[in-house]
Chain A
């Protein structure tokens, strides 16, 4: 019980890191997607390079670089800031690819019908392509979010006191060995299974709405 309490102290930070990183990732992904779809070769090349750079380096290395390596002026990033930022930019690269895929899954005919009807570009994105993209992206997006929830444990390496950090601290102090990590595993499962269920529920609901 005492063990559970000790670990649970890390729960808010796990959730916080995950949510903030997901938000940063989602927002930063949008201009990257625009760049990946750009017909301007330079912009495309830069976006492509950025995605490959962000994805190509392990998240833990990003976190170390941000935490130990970067100081903006006299200010150094806190462990939480570095953790959220690092996981956020890596998430942006993956999410950009997910969004790009979802956009290209919208049939060409939808674009053509929109053009033929004379819709403005903004209308096409907000009313036609956007909603269909969001729908197509939901399964991959939640899969990524669940992955990110677990990857947030990487932030423990730079001292963010989330679940894994608290668990290893407890293990060291109490000498309870491996058991504490089983409990931590249980907490992660309790967090990720509902997310998966929610995703499937949303997916089924949207499919039904369209095929009523």
Chain B
């Protein structure tokens, strides 16, 4: 199968196989990406993050359905943690989106983090591109919520939404750096639970204290995802942010930054592979290590010599 061509022709199987090739670093993965790349850059990429159990998948399901009613096609990448011990994972986000499985306009793919620390799979960006080239109007990236260091999502998405739930901490928790700084939109889910209004106030206070010079004050919306309450208003807010990004030119700025980061990432990967294949694989490197350990030479000088040899 010519995966890239079939994908561009609209084959879901090809899209699926393309994502696998990307994830597993098949020999043809780079070729596929090269063919798909000219067809990317059209989709609205929307990131959803937040602590575990906040209801991200349930909310994604509801948002996707609304977008479908608006006539948009949807791609969803649902990311769950890979076990650092076994390398395996339970990818259990899809279960919240069962009814979308048979919707022709929706494609859902579950991915494990497979060792990447920021909550996003390294291959997520390329999987997004595959869905983009396939023609999806909007692509959701739903990440692992492992606490306060979810900033990778900002690099991957146009608009980022943070989903919070009441009862997970007080106002000090709210002003800690990280997850709360990255939201373009905040959603308080399970808003029928006690503490929702209090959390709303605390978030607003945090936003005030930040002295944000941004031209966009992140709105806070209360929803009850599993009942579908507040979802329509949330979509309106999301669309407002996307429109704002376009009119202010920030969409271009963010995407250029994203391209830059991706290129640097590819470059670093290439260098890392080079190091593994040409430097550490050689017996010579073990000799260096021994010299350094025995204090015959220092590691900085050795590396400097290696680099000079590499870069001449």
A, B bound? no
B-side residues, CB < 8 A to A, are: none
Residues of A in contact with B (beta carbons under 8 Å apart): none
